[in-house]
Amino acid sequence: MKTVLSTLALASVLVAGACDARAAQLLLNGNLDATVVIDGQPRPDDWVIDASRAISGPFTDGLSSEPWAGPAPTPVTANDQGVFFKPFQGNATDGDVTVHLYQDAAATPGIIYLFSGWAGAEANYSGLIPGSRTRTELAVEFLGPAGLIASSVLHLPAAGLGGAAGQPFGYNKYTVAGIAPAGSTTVRGRVSMINAFANPAGGGQALVVDDFELSQIPEPATTALLACGLAGLALVRRR
């Protein structure tokens, strides 16, 4: 059965983030710099791309790897690549476009997982239109043999997507956290553009992402972090 992680559990994790612990990167090609050509377009290697349009169905041109899509303040490397989501592929004929970019790793129940990455958007991206049906998500999900068990989702526009003044694309770094529930065998880091469409106003509409990290905070650090997080919540409550 699909559930959403409780507010208390997530609050504990987020407060716990202030405590010191060493985390290990679980992603392959987390910086998105390694690419592979699919249907004539460069795409990030080792990642799964699931793209479809509401009317015409699955298609292959929902995103591409681009050297211009990951400028500073994201970490810049010699062969730097970011990922460009294409909201303009949504239209009245084919329907809104939805694109999920994700990668899976083995999960251990009871362990804290953090998924972080950089995201930015141009001013006319459909996800930034007030009241838009477009959703832009950063998520950490936990799956078992029967499918999705639980998820923690950050809606990026509500978290300030595109709003970092003075930065290309308003780039900023975001993090979402969750605790793997009982029955979890897989943890998934996912970034998604859902129900996007070409803005009739035109202009710059890009959604761009770069440099992801999926981290497992190992035992005994998990227990210490939870204790620290709960202590932090207690302090907040007392104030």
Domains in the chain: ranges and CATH? 3-238 (2.60.120.260)
Q: Is the pLDDT of residue 238 over 60?
A: no
Lowest mean pLDDT among 3-12, 124-133, 180-189, 207-216: 3-12
Instruction: Write the CB contacts of 87 (distance below 8 Å, at least 6 apart in sequence).
Output: 97, 125, 126, 127, 134, 193, 196, 197, 198, 199, 205, 206, 207
Contact 132, 156 (CB under 8 A): no
Q: The whole model's pTM is what?
A: 0.85
pLDDT, tens digit (0-9, with 9 covering 90-100), for 21-65: 556 899 999 999 999 999 999 999 999 999 999 999 999 999 999
Determine the angle formed by the axes of helices 7-16 and 221-238, rounding to 10 degrees. Answer: 100
> Which pair of structure tokens corresponds to residue 109?
């129940």
At 224, the pLDDT band (50, 70, 90 cuts) reads low
Please give the Cα distance from 101 to 49 (Å, whole number). 5
